[in-house]
Amino acid sequence: MTTHRFFGALALMAVLATPALADEPGPGGSKPPVAKTGEEVYRTYCQACHMADAKGAVGAGRFPALANNERLGTTAYAAYIVANGKGGMPWFKDTLSKDQAQAVLTYLRTHFGNAYKEPVTAEDVAAFGQKPMR
């Protein structure tokens, strides 16, 4: 193949390689994964403040423990706090879907030393303004 044909073929390939056919930048594309399970939602939204072991933290602020937390025994209270926040905790009714809120509350009520068997329902979280799944 002559140099002229080689560069012509190379130019043609460059023109045909549109952005739609190219890989997205970054290691996993440009769209972050959506947290679906209660554990994924906890790790994505809650763990930074309440810590990996859910025992809370004290430092620049006070982040209460979710481990062995009697307040999680009341489904309505827990759903209200996730939806509307309290003190320094932001509200999540505009961030989490009903499914995500239901999943994380059920996860918290059954992990970290909490043993509340009553499941959190979609109605529990919808009552406080949680949005449907996006």
Contact in structure between 56 and 65 (CB atoms under 8 Å) = yes
The reported pLDDT for the residue numbered 32 is 74
pLDDT of residue 27: 61
Question: Which regions in the chain score pLDDT beneath 50?
Answer: none
Tell me which residue of 54, 34, 39 sits closest to 95, measured CA to CA: 34
In a domain, 84, yes or no: yes
Distance from the first to the final alpha carbon of the chain: 53
pTM of the full structure: 0.73
Q: What is the pLDDT of residue 12?
A: 57
Q: How many domains does the chain have?
A: 1
State the residue range of the domain holding 101. 36-126
Does residue 54 form part of some domain?
yes
104: CATH: 1.10.760.10
Kindly state whether residue 11 falls inside one of the protein's structural domains: no
Residue 12 within a domain: no
Instruction: Confirm whether 30 is domain-assigned.
Output: no
Please check whether residue 99 lies inside any domain of the structure.
yes
- Say if 133 falls within a structural domain: no
What digits encode the pLDDT tens for the residues 41-54? 999 999 999 999 99
Structure tokens at 112: 């970290």
Residue 105 domain flag: yes
